[in-house]
Structure 1
Amino acid sequence: MKKYTYNQLSILQYILLIHGAQVGIGVLTIPRELAEKASTDGWISLLIGWLAATLVSLVITNMMKQYPEKTIIDIFPLILGKWLGRIAIVFMFIYCGVAAFVLLINATGIINVWLLSQTPAYVVVFLFTLPTYFVLQGGVRAIGRYAELVFYLTLWIPFVLTTAYREVHWLNLLPVIKEGWHPIWEASKSTVLSFLGFEFGYFAYPFLQKKQYAPLGIVIANTLTLFVYLSVVVVCFAYFSPDEITQYTWPTLNLWKAIEFRFLERVDILFLSTYMFILSTTALPYIYFCVFSSSQLFGMKDHRKHLRLFLLLVPVVLLFYTPSFIDLKKSIQIWSYAGLGFAYALPLLAWGPIRLSKRAERGEKA
């Protein structure tokens, strides 16, 4: 009997789970980050980041294809042995836990700045924990369905964003490659990290019903994320001047603040409220696979005990520690460096040993 049959994902849920995990904090900050390094040529860096993420994503799906009914947590002990495998699982648990915590505190910081300036951070996070528990207790299938629901609920955003076209200055984008390729390559480092989230191919592959579509699905997920980033970056570059955009911490929110209708003035508040759902599709997979890894580490089939502990621990931490704006920026940098290792380096390093291990198994059977 297949281990994960009861929790299977459709190909659409697989695509939207990975896409949702990618479009998080980055969509708010990436216009500024690219403008600081490559000016208005930063959109070209996005294409480079997409290409790198897609190539590594295909390596991940090819790697997981060798053990189609196992997650990376199940594979570690097979290729590394019992104890080294458990150490690798601990690192994976820490990585997902750090990513989840970084996303939660940054979401709280955004809410405190734009919406609830007088509400303590631990109260905001506690309000997140209740719906988070109800979704995550249902497992991967529930996360996939939630990602699909949020995708449909946010389809109005690109249509409203087009109303900003009346105020844009497309000449800001010219000339193309004005300072050469070096700034573009430098900015591509930021875009590579903005595509983090495709590493959930490690976990989601065995849950996928039609695994033959996994490579196509993960390419579509990356391409969908590229479309979101490109649409936001190009509009921000054309709306703000090259110097002005670098002065905003979250230029995407400042862009939405400028959009108004006769019947609705604060469109940015509506967007920000909806954006919290988008951000949740980024945080939920990291939280789930954090507690999934820890549960597997201790030989527990039910992840809900560890989930309750994690969701209780985060508000308690924020009760005694409120991160400053500098702390939030440092936390994203830490997560980014960790993501380079787990999302980009690990597949390239593990692909060879996994294929050799599989060949050895086939040789023994023969």
Structure 2
Amino acid sequence: MISKNKITLMQYIFLIHGVQMGVGALTLPRELAEKAGTDGWITIIVCWLLATIASLIIIQIMKRNPDGTILDLLARYFGKWIGKAGTILFALYFALIANVIFIREALFIQAWILPGAEVYMLILLLSVPSYLIVRKNISILGRYAEFVFFMTLWTIIIYLLPLKYASWLHLLPILKEGIEPIISGVNTAVFSFLGFEIAFFLFPFLQKKERASMGIVIANTLSLFAFLAITLAAFSFYSPDEITIYNEPTLEMLKVIELRFIERVEIVFFSFYLFVMSTTVLPYMFMTVYCTSQLAGRHDHRRHLAWFLIIEFVFVVFFPPSFERNTMLKHVSEMAGLLVAFVFPLCLWGYVWLHGIFKRRPIT
């Protein structure tokens, strides 16, 4: 299955970058301003450094088993039952994040575009294209991520337009409150960089594995530039106190753009940004059903995907979501993400490294 579904380096980069962009960019400037003030952009650089280090550790781990995913590596080093337990935990982790982002996407659509629509109807409508894309293999997701990146590249450039109303003095002085606020914002900003952990599953599908490290650094750096551009634009556009008033300041600031042929630019922007959101949620859906299908010993994940989407719909019908409830689940997924993306790779890399040393040591 892996040998038939190879992805190129570009697809590998844009898959990871797409997963990282998600919905975090819409609220990240406000969340950073609440934690670190206008020095929050420095927090983004710190999070990029941490994410890059963790990413490179993941690649070093996967080089020990280049033809299999992390599920195969766990079974190889720890045995069959630990491998199955790891598969269950990864499936739950990916399902949690997919659930949070999928519902949040529907909530944003309801708030900004279709205020009269019910969330369960939006989930139902989003499920159709989601199924059509995710039912295929990973190479299709890679092509989709590549297409969406170039189609929505202009969404970053559009943030240059509101800057004629900006005041760069809002960013000064740098480090006005010291290092502590910057560090306190790491827990908030690091969630936006989550997504590189899918390299645990993408690595065996990559055509040129020797470029995996370079590719994942490029993906993280693309996300860094995007987050920095959006955050610096918002920090300079709003005053330090004003930015905390708006839930999605990156959308609100686009309301000042006036074009003769478009009345509300922010709605057009958000409509295109829905494609960017999909490049986050669809890979997480794929990873979820990939894990469950591996657990069931099946190569075809379409039935598992259908059940996942049905469960999502039923969940929304019986437990109508809100931004407050979704934010609570988001905090849970953030904690889980820190464990899976940062703590787990470090611990596993230490074990694999020690295992290699003791295995090479001659018996006396």
* TM-score (normalised: structure 1): 0.96
Q: Distance in 2 between matches of 1:153 and 1:299?
A: 37
Show the counterpart of 2:174.
Answer: 176
Q: Distance in 2 between matches of 1:211 and 1:23?
A: 24
Could you report, residue by residue, the CA deviation over 1:304-358 in whole angstroms, capped at 9, with x for unpaired residues? 1101111121112111111122102111101100001111111001112234455
Change (3 A) 1:359 1:293: farther
Q: Secondary structure at the match of 1:162?
A: helix
Q: Secondary structure at the match of 1:7?
A: coil
Show the counterpart of 1:229.
Answer: 227
Q: Distance in 2 between matches of 1:262 and 1:216?
A: 44
Change (3 A) 1:303 1:363: farther
Q: Secondary structure at the match of 1:178?
A: coil
Could you report, residue by residue, the CA deviation over 1:283-311 in whole angstroms, capped at 9, with x for unpaired residues? 01100000000000111111111011111
Q: Distance in 2 between matches of 1:163 and 1:130?
A: 35
Show the counterpart of 1:47.
Answer: 45
Correspondence list, 1:126-137, <5 A = 126-137=124-135
Show the counterpart of 1:143.
Answer: 141
> Which runs of 4 or more aligned residues in structure 1 lie more than 3 Å from their structure 2 counterparts after TM superposition?
355-364
Show the counterpart of 2:284.
Answer: 286
Could you report, residue by residue, the CA deviation over 1:92-116 in whole angstroms, capped at 9, with x for unpaired residues? 0000000000001111111111111
Show the counterpart of 1:335.
Answer: 333
Task: Work out whether residues 104 and 323 of structure 2, in 8 Å CA contact, stay in contact via their aligned partners in 1.
Answer: no
Q: Distance in 1 between matches of 2:167 and 2:259?
A: 21
Of residues 318, 321, 332, the one that matches 1:320 is 318
Correspondence list, 1:1-366, <5 A = 3-357=1-355
Q: Distance in 2 between matches of 1:101 and 1:286?
A: 9
Q: What's the CA shift for 1:258? A: 2.5
Give the number of equivalent residue pairs: 362
Task: Work out whether residues 66 and 355 of structure 1, in 8 Å CA contact, stay in contact via their aligned partners in 2.
Answer: no
Q: Secondary structure at the match of 2:116?
A: coil
Query: What amino acid sits opposite 1:88 in the alignment?
Result: G
Q: What's the CA shift for 1:134? A: 1.2
Q: Secondary structure at the match of 1:116?
A: coil
Q: Secondary structure at the match of 2:4?
A: helix
Query: What amino acid sits opposite 1:100 in the alignment?
Result: A
Query: What amino acid sits opposite 1:186 in the alignment?
Result: S
Q: Distance in 2 between matches of 1:10 and 1:106?
A: 30
Q: What's the CA shift for 1:138? A: 1.5
Q: Give the gaps of 5 or more residues in structure 1.
A: none
Change (3 A) 1:80 1:165: same
Task: Work out whether residues 99 and 312 of structure 2, in 8 Å CA contact, stay in contact via their aligned partners in 1.
Answer: yes
Q: What's the CA shift for 1:159? A: 2.3
Q: Distance in 1 between matches of 2:150 and 2:5?
A: 22
- Percent sequence identity is 43
RMSD (CA atoms): 1.4
Q: What's the CA shift for 1:262? A: 2.0
Task: Work out whether residues 79 and 353 of structure 1, in 8 Å CA contact, stay in contact via their aligned partners in 2.
Answer: no
Q: Secondary structure at the match of 2:247?
A: coil
Q: Distance in 1 between matches of 2:274 and 2:286?
A: 18
Query: What amino acid sits opposite 2:302 in the alignment?
Result: R
Q: Distance in 1 between matches of 2:258 and 2:71?
A: 48
Change (3 A) 1:16 1:77: same
Q: What's the CA shift for 1:80? A: 1.9
Q: What's the CA shift for 1:362? A: 7.2
Could you report, residue by residue, the CA deviation over 1:118-169 in whole angstroms, capped at 9, with x for unpaired residues? 1111110111111111111211100100000100110111222211111111
